[in-house]
Structure formats: structure tokens, C-alpha cells
Amino acid sequence: MELNPPPPYPGPTDPSQGGVYPPVTVVQDNVYPAPPKYSAAVVQPEIMVVQPPAIQTQPTVMMVNPVVVQPGLTDIPTPMKCTYCQQQIVTTTQHVNGLLVWGSFGVLLIFGIWPCCLIPFCVDSCKDVQHSCPSCKNVLHIYRRM
């Protein structure tokens, strides 16, 4: 294998002989002005304080009805003021079947303990407690076990 150099590039290789390429001339059509000179002083904007016009309002009279918070009613009779007849009473309680009774019945029935599934209907501590007024007989509150 012989090392042969590549053939020479056609044209003059000496730049003094007058190059192949014409000289580049730069033409400037537009002359832009120099940027403006900025001073080191900083101009602060003026602060203007504007007072709003005085508005006179008349005092408003508000009627407020007092809200009476009843004590937490549980499973015992409680003294309170009836919300229907406005008398000071001691509530009467009655035990009624609620969600805890029916849920216990269903669970015992599903597990096949069918003779014992009726026990929650006989136990007052499983039942909900209904508070009512002894004078007007309205239901005031139902204490739910579940």
C-alpha cells in the first residue's frame, strides 16, 4: 500500500496572486444613534395621601333572642324547660328499640345463636331512651345508644 497524497486543489494557492474570492465590503445603510446617557440620580415618585370622605352611619338596633342550651339528656329523667309548653318539667323516659338492639339481634342470628338473639330486646341498657314532656306529651329528645 502506497501513500499517495491527494491531488492539489485547482486554483491559485498563493493569496498574493489574487484570490479567487472577491474581497468583502461592508455597507452600512442605516446609522443608529448612540444610546442616551443616563445619570446616576434616581427619581422617586411622589406619594399622595388621599383621605376618604367621612361617612356617617346611624346606630343599628339589633334584637337578639337568647339561645337556651339544654343539658345533655342521657338515660335518666332530667329537669328542664319544655320547648313546646315553656314549663319547667322533669322529663319522662321510655326505652324504645333502636339500632343497637336490631344490630345485636342480627349479629347473634347470623352466627347461629338463635335462642340468645332475643336477649337485646329485653335489656334496657341496649335500647334508646325517649325523653318527653309530662304535661304536653311531646317528644323532646331521643338518646341514641348507637
Q: pLDDT of 51-90, one tens digit each?
A: 777 777 777 777 776 765 655 788 899 999 998 999 999 9
The pLDDT-based confidence of 26 (bands split at 50, 70, 90) is low
For the chain, the three-class secondary structure string (H helix, E strand, C coil) is: CCCCCCCCCCCCCCHHHCCCCCCCCCCCCCCCCCCCCCCCCCCCCCCCCCCCCCCCCCCCCCCCCCCCCCCCCCCCCCEEECCCCCCEEECEEEEECCHHHHHHHHHHHHCCCCCHHHHHHCCHHHCEEEEECCCCCCEEEEECCC
Per-residue model confidence (pLDDT) at position 112: 86
Average the pLDDT over 101-124 and give the result.
92
Please give the mean pLDDT across all residues of the chain. Answer: 80
Q: So what's the pLDDT on residue 67? A: 65
Domain ranges of the chain: 80-112+120-143
What is the pTM (predicted TM-score) of this model?
A: 0.51
pLDDT (0 to 100) of residue 6: 78
